[in-house]
Amino acid sequence: MAPQGGRQVGGSSGEDKYKDAPDAKHLLDIIGKDVHDKVKEEAEKRSNGDLKGSLSLAKVSGVELAGTLDPCSSDYTTHFDASGKRYPCGNGSASEKRFSKERVDEYDNKKMKCSYGSNGKNEGACAPFRRLHLCDKNMENISDYDSSKAKHNLLLDVCMAANYEAQSLINYREQYEVQYPSSVSTFTMCTMLARSFADIGDIVRGKDLYLGNKKKKQNGKETEREKLENNLKTIFGKIYEGLTTANGAKEYYQDKNGGNFFKLREDWWTANRETVWKAITCDAPGDASYFHATCDSGDGRGGAQANHKCRCDGANVVPTYFDYVPQFLRWFEEWAED
């Protein structure tokens, strides 16, 4: 299913809003918004603002980024330590080129969409091509675990991954539109960004279904996926240490079994997703619009389009709700375009 035009779904409520959805993409986003609205209200009560990160309080190479809260400002981007192992999209070599013809052919020929073990069970979800090489490698190499800065430093690295992911996808846009000439270009870019934004959210929350390259070991001990997940568990452990006991958050978020901190990770993402969306849309075209009219039109009824750099006009509102739709359902819809 190639991307559709920006038909607006407004005015409907209850079950009617689901029936009125013009396609699967709209339906998933409508469902995601319902989930988000409930999750956000509950998360804000639990965390009482304690999980909100600030880029101005983050550190890169021991230097605090004082003076900026904007993930698109020059202060923020020039302090990226994106060399070597910290480069989000790989090592920068020709072999690591994300959307090269060789990688597309490999995806098609080896049918990498699905991976099944000898027992016939799925060893990870069937990932669309875009997801196979998401720019998140910097998060495998976070090394500053100071509990007083953990929530801020993690936000910096998640925004860094989102920013580089967007730059990579912008280069892919022309290839995508050649393949799907009927798609509306102003919606295409924001849809791609929304899908990667949601996948980054799943990685942060420990929900990502893609197992990655299991044969590629890190120091002979861990796969890339295992290293990333173990690093995130350590970071959220430090965030947990920095919580206060006053509002009961520390008791609620404790993880006695496995140290996964899934509840904490879920609410951290809810508290910081607006900043991550800003980071992933920094370089979006000025006329780029999100397909689903989810912004507030000024009368409190919604229905306005995010029609400038995939953002709602004058509001810190994320127009997409894909990150509150189960990953495998998002991927099903995306496969129809692959």
- Over its C-alpha atoms, the chain yields an Rg (Å, rounded) of 20
Are the C-beta atoms of 35 and 13 separated by less than 8 Å? no
Q: What gap in Å lies between CA 270 and CA 36, rounded to an integer?
A: 8
Tokens of 46: 């639990």
CATH of domain 15-335: 1.20.1310.20
pLDDT tens string, the chain, 338 residues long: the values are 333 344 444 445 566 788 888 889 999 999 999 999 999 999 999 998 999 999 888 876 666 666 667 888 766 666 666 666 778 887 655 455 666 555 555 555 444 445 544 444 555 557 888 888 899 988 988 876 778 889 999 999 999 999 999 988 887 777 666 655 545 455 788 999 999 999 999 999 999 998 876 656 556 678 888 889 999 999 999 999 999 877 788 899 999 888 899 999 999 999 999 999 999 999 998 988 999 998 977 665 657 889 889 999 877 889 999 999 999 999 988 887 75
Backbone phi, then psi, for 18, in 5-degree steps? -75, -40
Counting other chains too, the contacts that 294-302 makes at CB distance below 8 Å and 24 or more residues apart are 294/29, 294/33, 294/319, 294/320, 294/321, 295/319, 301/10, 301/11, 302/10
